[in-house]
């Protein structure tokens, strides 16, 4: 990396640092402090300047792997075995961090269910903020010991974006074993070039992502870009950087970016809408016609029953649904929102004018099926497969 062409680090006061398995478990078998020392020094220096840090750390499974002999590192492992390894290794992973600091550290284990439920989401947010007020260092991981596939965030890259949102961070650092995002896989293409900054995450950026070759890692570059997209849409600058190099963090302390900077969006999404989009699970689908879709996208309108063609799934009032545009016989995901009516009521009033709702149902909750304030329109979302 050319030290003479580094870009300026945006100002920040609160940062989330995601530390991947390649940093905390470089041998793929056990946790170690070989690279954690660089990060610990960075954390200490930043805290002395009055800045706040939250760490999202992988490594529980790798730590558990080193503490038992029954399952070799490359042996196939069932979900219960992986959960057992995480249970064995979680204390070891935390202790690796704790011994690097002379101030209190707090361990927080989060599940997807904590993010789906609004009350639990707010409770986690309050806990993290209180830990920071106590000047302790929060160390967060997904609770792999109890999570099942359907109730897991799935990787700590995306978890770090959720945490950055939770604590209203202004910077997300995603550390890995590469210098940043490349135009191609640098291990296979010598002409691949590192991209110093990304102002818009689009399909071309996603196409540059490869997969992870680390057997204890859950995500590759793709999940890091997904996390960056979540964060920048909330107004959080995000950097993918090499956590194995001391110079990376030295540059950061000197106000320079050594990695790929994903610039935050100028008009960030609200916390509520970001939670609705990325955490709240959809319970059904609403298929709408072209006219209704244009009203949502171009006029920032609410979704009225007249434009609804079909309702799929069974759900209650207040549930989240995906909104699809029907055009030329094909459906395209254009939005997500929480409903004013349950699925049974929506089927009865679909295609009708709003003034017909009370006559049809015997009551009226709202003129709209989904209010604009309870909806996210997805025209700026590149990776729509990630929408729950």
Asked whether residue 235 is assigned to any structural domain, the reply reads yes
Q: 16 and 162, same structural domain?
A: yes
How would you classify residue 82: left for phi > 0, otherwise alpha for psi between -120 and 50, otherwise beta? alpha
* Domain assignment of residue 78, yes or no: yes
Pair 260, 305 in one domain = no
Res 101 pLDDT > 90:
yes
Read off the pLDDT of each residue in 186-209 and give the average, rounded to a whole number.
87
User: Which of residues 267 and 361 earns the better pLDDT score?
Assistant: 361
Last residue in a domain, options 206, 236, 270: 270
Written in H, E and C, the secondary structure of the chain is CCHHHCEECCCCCEEEEEECHHHHCCCCCCCCCCCHHHHHHHHHHHHHCCCEEEEEECCHHHHHHHCCCCCCCCCCCCHHHHHHHHHHHHHHHHHHHHCCCCCCEEEEEECHHHHHCHHHHHHHHHHHHHHHHCCCEEEEEECCCCCCHHHCCCCHHHHHHHHHHHCCCCEEEEEECCCCCECCCCCCCCCCCECCEECCCCHHHHHCCCCCCCCCCCCCHHHHHHHHHHHHHCCCEEEEEECCCHHHHHHHHCCEECEEEECCCCCCCCHHHHHHHHCCCEEEEEEECHHHHHHHHHHCCCECHHHEEEEECCCCCCCEEEEEEEECCEEEEEEEEECCCCHHHHHHHCCCCHHHHHHHHCCCCCCCCECHHHEEECCCCCCHHHCC
Are 117 and 39 in the same domain? yes
Boundaries of domain holding 16: 3-270
Q: Quick one: what percent of the chain has pLDDT higher than 70?
A: 89
In this prediction, residue 143 carries a pLDDT of 82
Same domain, 30 and 95: yes
Q: Tell me: do 42 and 169 sit in the same domain.
A: yes
- Please report whether residue 154 resides in a domain: yes
- Checking if the pLDDT of 215 tops 50, the result is no
Q: Does position 26 have pLDDT exceeding 80, yes or no?
A: no
With cut-offs at 50, 70 and 90, classify the pLDDT of residue 285. very high
Q: Taking residues 132-144, what's their average pLDDT?
A: 91
Confidence band for 119, pLDDT divided at 50, 70 and 90: confident
Scored b (16 or more CB within 10 A) or e, 253-274 reads eeebbbbbbbebbeeebeeebb
- Identify whether 387 is part of a domain: no
- Of the pLDDT bands very low, low, confident and very high (cuts 50, 70, 90), residue 11 is very high
pLDDT at 169: 95
Indicate whether 263 and 287 sit together in one domain. Answer: no
- Count of domains for the chain: 2
Query: In this structure, is residue 275 part of a structural domain?
Result: no
Same domain, 256 and 372: no
Within-domain flag for 208: yes
373: domain CATH number is 2.30.130.10
Identify the residue whose tokens are 């996208």: 297
Last residue of a domain, which of 270, 301, 332?
270
243 & 351 share domain? no
98 lies in some domain: yes
172 and 28 in a common domain: yes
Average pLDDT over the chain, rounded to an integer: 86
Kindly state whether residues 44 and 151 are assigned to the same domain: yes
0.85 exceeded by pTM: no
Q: Are residues 262 and 294 in the same domain?
A: no
Domain stops at, among 270, 305, 322: 270
Instruction: Please indicate, yes or no, whether residues 171 and 81 belong to a single structural domain of this protein.
Output: yes
335 occurs within a structural domain: yes
Contact 338, 370 (CB under 8 A): yes
CATH of the domain at 264: 3.40.1160.10
């Amino acid at each position: 990396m050319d030290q003479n062409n580094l870009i300026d680090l945006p100002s920040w006061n609160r940062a989330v640092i995601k530390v991947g398995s390649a940093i905390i478990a470089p041998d793929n078998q056990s946790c170690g402090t070989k690279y954690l020392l660089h990060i610990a020094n960075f954390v200490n220096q930043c805290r002395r300047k009055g800045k706040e840090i939250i760490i999202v750390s992988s490594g529980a499974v790798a730590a558990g792997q080193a503490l038992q002999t029954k399952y070799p590192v490359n042996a196939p492992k069932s979900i219960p075995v992986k959960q057992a390894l995480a249970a064995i290794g979680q204390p070891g992973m935390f202790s690796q961090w704790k011994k690097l600091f002379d101030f209190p550290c707090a361990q927080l284990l989060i599940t997807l269910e904590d993010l789906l439920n609004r009350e639990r989401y707010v409770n986690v947010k309050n806990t993290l903020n209180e830990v920071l007020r106590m000047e302790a260092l929060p160390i967060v991981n997904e609770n792999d010991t109890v999570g099942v596939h359907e109730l897991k965030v799935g990787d700590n890259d995306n978890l770090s974006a959720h945490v950055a949102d939770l604590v209203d961070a202004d910077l997300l650092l995603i550390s890995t074993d590469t210098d940043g995002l490349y135009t191609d896989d640098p291990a296979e293409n010598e002409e691949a070039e590192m991209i110093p900054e990304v102002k818009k995450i689009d399909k071309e950026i996603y196409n540059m992502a490869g997969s992870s070759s680390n057997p204890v890692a859950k995500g590759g570059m793709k999940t890091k870009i997904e996390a960056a997209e979540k964060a920048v849409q909330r107004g959080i600058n995000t950097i993918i950087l090499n956590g194995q190099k001391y110079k990376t963090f030295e540059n950061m302390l000197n106000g320079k970016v050594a990695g790929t900077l994903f610039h935050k969006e100028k008009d960030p999404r609200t916390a509520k809408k970001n939670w609705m989009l990325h955490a709240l699970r959809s319970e059904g689908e609403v298929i709408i016609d072209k006219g209704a879709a244009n009203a949502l996208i171009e006029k920032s309108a609410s979704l009225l029953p007249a434009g609804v063609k079909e309702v799929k799934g069974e759900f209650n009032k207040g549930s989240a649904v995906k909104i699809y545009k029907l055009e030329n016989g094909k459906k395209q995901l254009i939005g997500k929102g929480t409903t004013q009516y349950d699925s049974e009521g929506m089927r009865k009033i679909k295609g009708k004018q709003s003034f017909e709702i009370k006559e049809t149902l015997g009551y009226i909750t709202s003129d709209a099926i989904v209010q604009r304030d309870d909806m996210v329109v997805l025209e700026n979302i590149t990776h729509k497969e990630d929408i729950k």
